[in-house]
């Protein structure tokens, strides 16, 4: 059994992981259905670890902004849960889907209630709830990420948002279908604008590792205030573990053993409750939409450090 490392040993671990990844052939392919993402070099790699006190370590392209995409779903879930509480779960479930992230299959026989907050249908519902609660879901998310990361320049990428809108027919279909079941409160065009802006946020590994630290601190923000109760933070981490990497969540839990949330921009955030948070980025994806090198790096991290939830 590995002995858990001291925080000061994180940097050598990251350097070892970066060397291992650099020597590994085959990185997958960037997402090609969003033209703005397709041109990114799949061999880019960055990784960061943030401790509970805000100290952050990194290797490779850890300061390079990238398209966060579905990683933002973890943050909008936390924000909506903080404002609406248990009532949120009347609109979205907490079970793995077993289907692709943009599938319409389950919605009809489950009466317009998405299986979980991290498939696209569920994320649309959460963004809809957050927009109703705040009047600007995407702006609320941006303000939160800026505050938690300490990066006031963190912003949307208009080119990516426009690209997603131009290729967003499936998301529109999901939203209109759920609206027919009265599970969408806002006009669908407004919701889609909010959702595409949300997914277009650019941030670095350092930004996201720091921004996700409230989940390792059991709901406590960087300024010491409480975003979530300890129980709510547990809920978000639990859903990340079981549903955060699309229909590969079981394999991710098996290999990595941490709550995580991936995005088709190639990023993955992961949480070691009570200890630290991580973000890894490499744009090459596997067939399920997860970063090939990112999953391998997190697997290597938990193996080298002995840190996991199991």
Q: Which of 13, 57, 73, 261 is an active site residue? A: 73
Q: Are strands 46-51 and 66-67 parallel, antiparallel or unpaired?
A: unpaired
For residue 176, indicate whether it is catalytic.
no
Question: Is 70 an annotated catalytic residue?
Answer: yes
Q: Which one of the listed residues 56, 59, 70, 204 is annotated catalytic?
A: 70
Q: Which residues contact 74 (CB under 8 A, 6 or more apart)?
A: 118, 212, 215, 236, 240, 244, 261, 269
Among 195, 236, 261, 295, the active-site one is 195
Catalytic residue status for 97: no
Q: 104-110, long-range: CB within 8 Å, 24+ apart, which pairs?
A: 104/170, 104/173, 104/174, 104/177, 107/174, 107/177, 107/178, 108/177
Is 271 known to be catalytic? Answer: no
Options 236, 264, 271, 280, the catalytic residue: 264
Q: Which residues contact 202 (CB under 8 A, 6 or more apart)?
A: 65, 66, 67, 68, 154, 155, 156, 157, 160
Residue 67 a catalytic site member: no
Catalytically annotated residue among 92, 125, 239, 246? 246
Residue 95 CA to residue 277 CA, distance in Å, equals: 24
Which amino acids are annotated catalytic?
70, 73, 195, 246, 264
């Amino acid at each position: 059994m590995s002995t858990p490392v001291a925080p000061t040993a994180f940097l050598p671990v990251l350097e070892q992981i970066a060397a291992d990844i650099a020597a590994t052939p085959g990185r997958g392919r960037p997402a090609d259905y969003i033209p703005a993402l397709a041109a990114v070099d799949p061999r880019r790699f960055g990784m960061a670890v943030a401790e509970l006190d805000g100290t952050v370590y990194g290797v490779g392209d850890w300061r390079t902004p990238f398209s966060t995409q579905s990683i933002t779903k973890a943050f909008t879930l936390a924000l909506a849960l903080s404002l609406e509480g248990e009532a949120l779960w009347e609109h979205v479930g907490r079970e793995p889907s077993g289907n692709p992230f943009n599938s319409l299959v389950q919605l009809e026989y489950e009466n317009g209630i998405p299986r979980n907050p991290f498939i696209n249908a569920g994320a649309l519902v959460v963004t809809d709830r957050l927009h109703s609660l705040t009047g600007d879901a995407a702006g609320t998310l941006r303000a939160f990420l800026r505050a938690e990361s300490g990066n006031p320049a963190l912003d949307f990428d208009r080119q990516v948002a426009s690209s997603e809108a131009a290729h967003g027919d499936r998301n529109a279909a999901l939203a209109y279908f759920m609206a027919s079941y009265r599970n969408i409160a806002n006009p669908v065009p407004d919701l889609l604008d909010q959702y595409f802006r949300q997914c277009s946020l650019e941030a670095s590994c350092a930004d996201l590792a720091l921004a996700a630290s409230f989940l390792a601190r059991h709901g406590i923000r960087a300024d010491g205030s409480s975003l979530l109760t300890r129980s709510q933070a547990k809920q978000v981490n639990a859903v990340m573990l079981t549903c955060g990497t699309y229909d590969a969540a079981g394999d991710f839990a098996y290999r990595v053993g941490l709550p995580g949330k991936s995005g088709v921009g190639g990023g993955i955030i992961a949480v070691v409750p009570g200890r630290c948070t991580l973000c890894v980025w490499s744009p090459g994806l596997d067939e399920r939409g997860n970063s090939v090198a990112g999953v391998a790096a997190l697997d290597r991290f938990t193996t080298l450090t002995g840190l996991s939830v199991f």
